[in-house]
Amino acid sequence: MADGADLWPFLERVVLPPGWRIHYQAQVGSTQDLARRADEDGLPSRSVFVADYQTVGRGRRSRRWASPPGAGLLFTALLRHRGWAPQVLTMLGSVALSEAVEGLVGISPGIKWPNDLYIGPRKLAGILAEGRSEGDRHSVFLGIGVNVNTPDATLDALPSATSLSREAGWHIHRGELLVLILEAMDRWLAELESGDDGALWEAWNDRLWGRHQRVMLRDGDVETPCTVLEAERDGSLVVLTASGERRRVLAGELLI
């Protein structure tokens, strides 16, 4: 089903939680740009932009996000919020995504700090949160890319990546996965709108990837061997360095 039949023909009929609306295009530059333009044009919060293929998909740290046509789930949700800290919104995306994958295939991906989804040592999905604020009007463009039915040849060339179909052992319906993600986001948005981000942070910390595992922490040009301990409510990571120092890390990247 690499022809997009598991996406729009399904999504145009599906019932979503109130307020959510999906906009689909077969091919786009980046769904991030569609969400930003929609925000400028005044489209409502919970507008979601989905594509089968992106010509210039982007990741964090100015990297590219490439996914063969019809193989990935590629979307951006436009969300308006009350000036929540950026890490709260990326926590929302990564927890909702991990829960949705668990609901669909029974595998619970870990959240590799700060917000990649991993199954074992391999990357399943990435999240890119971009935003815009004008006075007290705050918008986030929460972009999610999941390797879903990625061809074997593509995965074999990327040993640090995996796909949902490879992990589950069967072909995955991308539309069903998207609906589960949006339902989970809807639940967490309701929780946040009630003024409480404690449960979201606990869910994020519970799903933290690599706890007690020895990894390398890269911050700029500096690489430090350490062990992952836990994630803090402010989005930072607590690690134990080789010299036995407990260190709180605000920025950086974990290397396996």
* Chain residues in the site for ligand BTN (CB under 6 A): 30-32, 54, 57-60, 63, 65, 74-76, 116, 126-128, 143-145
Closest separation between CB of residue 126 and ligand BTN, Å? Answer: 2
Q: Are 147 and 162 a contacting pair, CB within 8 Å?
A: yes
| Block residue for tokens 């290397």 | 255
Distance CA 119, CA 105 (A): 12
Minimum gap (Å) between residue 59 Cβ and ligand BTN:
3
Q: What is the chain's length?
A: 256
- Rounded to whole angstroms, the Cα distance separating 173 from 171 reads 7
Given the complex with ligand BTN, which of 109 and 145 has the nearer CB atom?
145
Closest CA to 38 of 83, 81, 78, 89: 78
Pick the closer one to ligand BTN by CB: 54 or 98.
Answer: 54
Cα separation, 154 vs 61, whole angstroms: 22
Residue 129 CB, shortest distance to ligand BTN, in Å, is 9
Q: Which is nearer to ligand BTN, 55 or 241 (CB)?
A: 55
Token representation of residue 116: 């990649």
Contact 237, 142 (CB under 8 A): no
The nearest distance, CB 45 to ligand BTN, in angstroms, is 18
Quick one: 123 or 166, whose CB is closer to ligand BTN?
123
Nearest approach, Cβ of residue 65 and ligand BTN (Å): 4
* Cβ proximity to ligand BTN, 218 vs 246, nearer residue: 218
Distance CA(75)–CA(72), nearest Å, equals: 10
Tell me how far apart the alpha carbons of residues 76 and 29 are, in angstroms, rounded to a whole number. 12
Q: Closer to ligand BTN at the Cβ: 129 or 228?
A: 129
> C-beta of 150: minimal distance to ligand BTN in Å?
13
Can you state the angle between helices 86-105 and 198-206, rounded to 10 degrees?
Answer: 60
Which helix or strand (DSSP H or E) is residue 189 part of?
helix 174-193
Residue nearest ligand BTN, CB atom distance: 126
